[in-house]
A and B are shown apart, each in its own frame.
Chain A
Amino acid sequence: MRRIMKRLGALWHRRRLDRDLQDELAFHLAMSEGQTGDPGVACRRLGNVTALKETTRDLWSFAFLESCWHDFRSAMRTLRANPQLTAVAALALGLGLGANTTVFTVVSSALSFDMGVDHVERMVALHPGPGAADLDPAAPSPLDFLDLRKQVRTLGDLAAYRYTAVNVSDGHAPAERLWRVEMTASGWAMVRQKPLLGREFSPRDEAPGATPEVLLSHKLWDSRYGRDASIVGRAIRIDDVEREVIGVMPPGAQFPEDCDLWTPLTVEELTDPAFRNQLTIFGRLAGSTTLAAAQSEVEALAQRRFGAKTNGPLARVRPFLEMIGVYNMRPVLMAMVFAVGFVLLIVCADVANLLLARSAARAREISIRIAIGAGRARIVRQLLIESVLLAAVGGVAGWMVAILGLRWFENMVAQGHVPSWVHFAMNARGFAYLAAISIGAGILFGLAPALDLSKVDVNSAIKDGGHGAAGAARGRRFAGLLVGFQMALCVILLAGAGLMIHSTLNLYNAPMAINPQNILTMRLALPETKYASEESVRAFYRRLKTDLGALPGVSQVALTSNLPLSGWMSFRGELDGAAATKSAELDALVVDRDYFHALGVGLRKGEGFSGGPRPEAIVNRSLAEKFWPGEDPLGKRLRIARRAGRGPWLEVVGVAPELPQDLMRPLERQPLIYLPFDSQPEPSIYVMARTAVPPATLVEAFRHAVENLDRNLPAQNVSALEDRISSSRLNVSSFGRLFSLFAAIALVLASVGLYAVVAHTVSRRTQEIGIRMALGGTRKDIFGLVLKQGMRQVAGGLAAGIPVALVVTRALSRGLVGVSPTDPATYAGVAVVLALAGFLGCALPARRAIRIDPLAALRHE
């Protein structure tokens, strides 16, 4: 510390210190001379005065830092002296660094899972296991929250919640459809954040007869109530129950799911068996318990509760995060990080090649520095400071690219559902990452040229005048290796992009079997509180259909639980005569009798729903072939578990063609059952109308029709079916578009790298080529010669890249639609694209080579 202070002081009096040292040594010499009488002897005894001064002066100064500063200034001069090289390199680096920072910021934010709960990775969710399918379909779930809460030891903070859409109405704004979490008070014990206003739920709110209450999310408080603090204490209607607002949560609070409001689960609800089956139970691993220990305890409890013999476990304990879509997309997100990292590596290789090409010209300068005494480490350091400085300039450009990139990203995903913890803003972490990769890239692309130059042979370099510097052959070989490496990275990126493009094509080209044009859709959800009886639900939709059908331009109105390519419902049920499946998980849609007609699809067999008193069902062809192969499905029977029990037997009255419901697997055939709305009136349903006019013109009329029937009922997402499908496809294909962008950039950069190396070789070999031509080499020979040299690297890159790509692209499989990660056609395409790009990269310099005039070439120095 004292030393540093004294040295800092010395910075100000440097000249005086130098003079003092000079005087001190002069005095010494004078005394010495007086004693020996010979100035020569005196000098010899003191030794090398300059070195002595330097050593002493170094004691007083920050020698290392000062020489770094010196290197830094000389690096600035070098960069300024080559503005073109600096600009090209900084631009390429800026793109690479910026793209990396963008992807890192988005992915790290998406994978932070910051739900306002500490140690979210220790949280688990309890699900029924595969063995539960063997139980009576009407039996309650093997996981009972109240039982578990009493008995389980391996889990702490056991809580349960239900996630449903509710209708909210009050005096403030039109009725709205919002997402609600109903959760036990124990769930609130885990939440880190406290309400911004008011209070949170307490165990008191679970008690029977407690006042109905609600907590608002910040975004709802903002959007619906304009941040009016007086809302706390007032009542709002949620599914036609008056609830008192007790508080507002801070921004970003969302637990356990992204919802608009929270209400407490009461003991009455917890004891209702039908309700209990809809709960998701979760907890936190107690102490140092492992997932496996919790699994076996929960399974033992479930077995004790049922005691039945089942195939497979009754319960599954899984990490809570698995329920979140983004969590399952982790491999794809990580693949994006790697893909963009590869782009940066390719950029680094390009810049390294640029610097290598320049190193021949700098050999002379470096040789002189070595000759006057600079050590190898010093030379490497100087060159590295130069490249890190170059990278820092690139980093600044990258910062701007990242800001634009994040804005672009935000716009792209704006339509999709984004968890609230994902932020598209440059944060400190992203900035630290940018700084780290900038310096890392600087060292990476600078190291090879620096090591190469520091090995320069001083004698020949100075004599050569910087032309055929020794070590150039090694440099060229290294440049060739770099290009091969770029090509290999390109193969991996192209393979990923190719698979994703293939997958996107599948997504868009999958036969929909319907014509989605001119269909207007909207979602309605009747609150159970107001529409308690099935008859009231039926009556509401009957009136709505009549009203909508009377609108000019509407030709057909139908109801369905799920729109085409938008999922399905799952039931437990059984099929008549299908031996293997006493109880099965069945996929079904609830539709009314006009559904197929509105879609313009005819049944393959049978008449369809008659609307008569007999319970009916329609199955699709896959289901008929799966469960009743070779038999006539008409007249077969099946039944579906209902809330209250097994449900009646339904007779198959029609066979529908394949209408894909699974957006991600549109090519797979999915066995489906269509249940009649009349006997299974779902309160939440999509209304779908085929129109004779553009659907957008009817949106307002649809909203009015709903409002006329029930002022408190919001009409949700009134939009054309075509738009819905294309926006969900866009979400699925956005990864593919991004990947293709990366691959395209990589391909261009790698081809430029190849071009630079081949062009450099051609210019070095001008004389040799001239001699070959003079000796009778044809243009074809010369072209082939140059081409062969370049294509060797392309071939090497392919050979090295394909095996790696085959392994790496497995990470993408979750994001792929109907294409295997090892799809041979894709790989063939990759090889062709790379070969073409490589050919272009070589052909331009090769054309220059064949234009060489032998006479001029021989005079060329």
Chain B
Amino acid sequence: MGKNRGELVQGTLDMLILRTLARGPMHGWGIAQQIHQISDDVLRVEEGSLYPALHRMELDGWIDAEWGQSENRRRAKYYRLTARGRKALRQEASHWSELVEAIARVMEAV
């Protein structure tokens, strides 16, 4: 159990990325850092799977990308949520809460 600590539940990476981008445009590194910090260092995004996921969502039109200046004045690729992405986030979020409630009910049952 301890070994898996911090690994993301399968299929939640997209949702977390979208939720993070809902606060405003961000680059890949920043997305990974925010997820890490907001979850109080519990969740750690596998960096190798972050970029394929970003590019897949870009192809699907959930997010847009654009080059900009980072905090330390470097060229960075910023991702921004699109209308389709917002819709996808709502769907994923509601699906997720259903799942959590269902698991909770099973766990609470005697």
Binding site for B on A (CB under 8 A): 2-3, 6-7, 20-21, 23-25, 27-28, 30-32, 34, 45-48, 51-52, 55-56, 59-60
Tell me, in angstroms, the Cα distance from A7 to B56 when the chains sit together.
11
Given contacts A3-B59, A27-B70, A27-B74, contact A55 B52 (CB under 8 A): yes
Residues on the A chain within 8 Å of B59, using CB: 2-3, 6-7, 59-60
Beyond A3-B60, A59-B56, is A31–B51 a contact (Cβ under 8 Å)? no
Q: How far is the CB of A470 from chain B (nearest CB, A)?
A: 38
B60 contacts which chain A residues (CB < 8 A)? 2-3
29 contacts between A and B (CB under 8 A): A2-B59, A2-B60, A2-B61, A3-B60, A20-B67, A20-B77, A21-B51, A23-B77, A24-B28, A24-B76, A25-B51, A27-B27, A27-B29, A27-B70, A27-B74, A28-B47, A28-B51, A32-B29, A32-B47, A34-B72, A46-B47, A47-B46, A47-B48, A52-B48, A52-B51, A55-B52, A59-B52, A60-B55, A60-B59
Least Cβ–Cβ distance between B72 and chain A, in angstroms:
8
Chain A residue numbers with a CB within 8 Å of B56 are 59
Nearest-neighbour CB distance to chain B for A1, whole angstroms, equals 10
- B48–A30 touching, CB < 8 Å: no
B5 cross-chain contacts in A, Cβ below 8 A: none
**Most chain-A CB neighbours within 10 Å: which of B48, B67, B72, B74?**
B48
Closest to B56 in A: A59
Q: Is the CB of A23 within 8 A of B75?
A: yes
Per the 8 Å Cβ criterion, residues 21-80 of B in contact with A are: 27-29, 46-48, 51-52, 55-56, 59-61, 67, 70, 72, 74-77
Q: What is the CB-to-nearest-CB distance from A190 to chain B, in angstroms, rounded to a whole number? A: 57
Q: A23-B75, A59-B55, A60-B59 are in contact. Are A28 and B29 (CB under 8 A)?
A: yes
On chain A, the residues within 8 Å of B72 by CB distance are: 34
Residue of A nearest to B44 (CB): A45
**In the complex, what residues of B have CB within 8 A of residue A24's CB?**
27-28, 51, 76-77
Partner of A46, one of B27, B48, B55, B77: B48
Contacts of A27 in B (CB 8 A): 27-29, 70, 74-77
| Residue of A20, A28, A46, A47 with highest tally of chain B CB at under 10 A | A28
Interface string of B9-28 (1 = CB under 8 A from A): 00000000000000000011
Partner of A56, one of B47, B52, B67: B52
Distance between Cα atoms of A46 and B72 in the complex (Å): 21
Residues on A with beta carbons closer than 8 Å to the beta carbon of B75 = 23, 27
Complex formed: what's the CA distance from A2 to B56 in Å? 12
Alpha-carbon distance A100/B26, docked complex (angstroms): 64
A56 touches B48 (CB 8 A): no
Residues of chain B with a CB closer than 8 A to A34's CB: 72
With A21-B51, A27-B76, A47-B48 known, 14 other A-B pairs at CB within 8 A are: A2-B60, A3-B60, A23-B77, A27-B70, A27-B75, A28-B51, A30-B74, A32-B47, A46-B48, A47-B47, A55-B52, A56-B51, A59-B52, A60-B59
Whether A48 pairs with B48 at a CB distance below 8 angstroms is yes
How far, in whole Å, are A46 and B47 apart by their CA atoms in the complex? 5
- Across the interface, which residues of A come within 8 angstroms of B55, CB to CB? 56, 59-60
CB distance from B12 to the nearest CB of A (A): 19
Please name all residues of chain B whose beta carbon is closer than 8 Å to the beta carbon of A31 when the two chains form the complex. Answer: 29, 70
Contacts of A51 in B (CB 8 A): 48
Where chain A touches its partner, the secondary structure class is: helix
A60 to B57, CA, bound (A): 11
- Which residues of B have CB within 8 Å of A56? 51-52, 55
Q: List chain A residues, Cβ under 8 A from B76.
A: 24, 27
**B70 surroundings in chain A (CB, below 8 A):** 27, 31
* A482 CB to nearest chain B CB (Å): 46
Contacts of B46 in A (CB 8 A): 47
- Closest-by-CB residue of B relative to A30 is B74
Across the interface, name the chain B residue whose C-beta is closest to A58.
Answer: B52
- Taken together as a complex, chains A and B put the C-alpha atoms of A47 and B70 apart, in Å, by 23
Nearest CB of B to A774, in Å: 64
Chain B residue at minimal CB-CB distance from A23 = B75
Q: Which residue of B lies closest to A59 (CB)?
A: B55
Assembly CA distance A849 to B56 (angstroms):
64
Residues on B with beta carbons closer than 8 Å to the beta carbon of A59: 52, 55-56, 59
Q: Is the CB of B27 within 8 A of A45?
A: no
Query: A2 to B64, alpha carbons, bound, how many Å?
Result: 13
Q: What's the nearest-Cβ distance from chain B to residue A54, in Å?
A: 10
Q: Is the CB of B77 within 8 A of A45?
A: no
Q: What's the minimum C-beta distance from B50 to chain A, rounded to whole angstroms?
A: 8
Contacts of A48 in B (CB 8 A): 48
Closest to B71 in A: A31
Residue numbers in B under 8 Å from A7 (CB-CB): 59
Distance of A21 Cα from B55 Cα, bound (Å): 10
Smallest Cβ distance from A533 to chain B, in angstroms? 94
**Nearest opposing residue in chain A for B84, CB measure:** A2
Q: When chains A and B are docked, how far (Å) is the Cα of A56 from the Cα of B77?
A: 15
**In whole angstroms, what is the CA distance A46 to B56 when docked?**
18
Bound complex: CA A211 to CA B83 (Å):
80
Chain A residues positioned under 8 Å from B77 (CB to CB): 20, 23-24, 27
Complexed CA–CA distance, A116 and B15 (Å):
64
How close is B15's CB to chain A, nearest CB, in angstroms?
19
A710–B70 Cα gap in the complex (Å)?
110
Please give, as numbers and ranges, the residues of chain B lying within 8 Å of A60 by CB-CB distance. 55, 59
Task: Give A52's nearest chain B residue, CB to CB.
Answer: B48
The smallest beta-carbon distance between A690 and chain B, in angstroms, is 91
User: CA separation between A378 and B86, bound complex, in Å?
Assistant: 40
- Per the bound structure, the CA–CA distance linking A47 and B47 in Å amounts to 8
Residues of A within 8 A of B28 (CB): 24, 27-28
Q: How far is the CB of A162 from chain B (nearest CB, A)?
A: 73
Contact status A45-B74, CB under 8 Å: no
Q: How far is the CB of A474 from chain B (nearest CB, A)?
A: 41
Chain A residues within 8 Å of B48, by CB: 46-48, 51-52
Q: Are B61 and A45 in contact (CB under 8 A)?
A: no
A27–B28 alpha-carbon span in the complex (Å): 9
Determine the chain A residues whose CB is within 8 A of the CB of B74 once the complex forms: 27, 30
Q: Give the distance in Å from the alpha carbon of A48 to the alpha carbon of B48 in the complex.
A: 8
How far, in whole Å, are A52 and B47 apart by their CA atoms in the complex?
A: 10
A2, A46, A59: residue with the most chain B Cβ atoms closer than 10 Å: A59
Write out the residue numbers on chain B whose beta carbons fall within 8 Å of the beta carbon of A30. Answer: 74
Q: Within the assembled complex, what's the spacing in Å between the Cα atoms of A24 and B27?
A: 9
Task: Tell me the bound Cα distance from A20 to B27 in angstroms.
Answer: 13
**Residue with the greatest number of chain B CB neighbours at <10 A, chosen from A7, A24, A45, A60:** A24
**Contacting residues, chain B, for A55 (C-beta < 8 A):** 52
A3–B60 Cα distance when bound, in Å, is 6
A21-B72 Cα distance, complex, nearest whole Å: 20
Report how far A31 CA is from B74 CA in the complex, Å: 10
Most A-side CB within 10 Å, residue of B27, B46, B59, B67? B59
Residues of A within 8 A of B61 (CB): 2
Q: Please, how many angstroms separate the alpha-carbon atoms of A21 and B74 in the complex? A: 15
What separation, in Å, do the CA atoms of A2 and B62 have in the docked complex?
11
Q: Closest B-chain residue to A3, C-beta based?
A: B59
Cα-based distance from A28 to B51 in the complex (angstroms): 10
**A45, B47: Cβ atoms under 8 Å?**
yes
Report the bound CA distance from A31 to B75 in whole Å: 12
> Which of B27, B47, B60, B74 has its CB near the most chain A CB atoms (within 10 A)?
B47
What separation, in Å, do the CA atoms of A529 and B109 have in the docked complex? 104
Measured CA separation A7–B60 after assembly (Å): 11
CA distance A476 to B55 in the complex (A): 50
A36, chain B: closest CB distance, angstroms? 12
What residue of chain B has the Cβ atom nearest to residue A51's Cβ?
B48
Q: Would you list which residues of chain B between 64 and 107 have a CB under 8 Å from chain A?
A: 67, 70, 72, 74-77
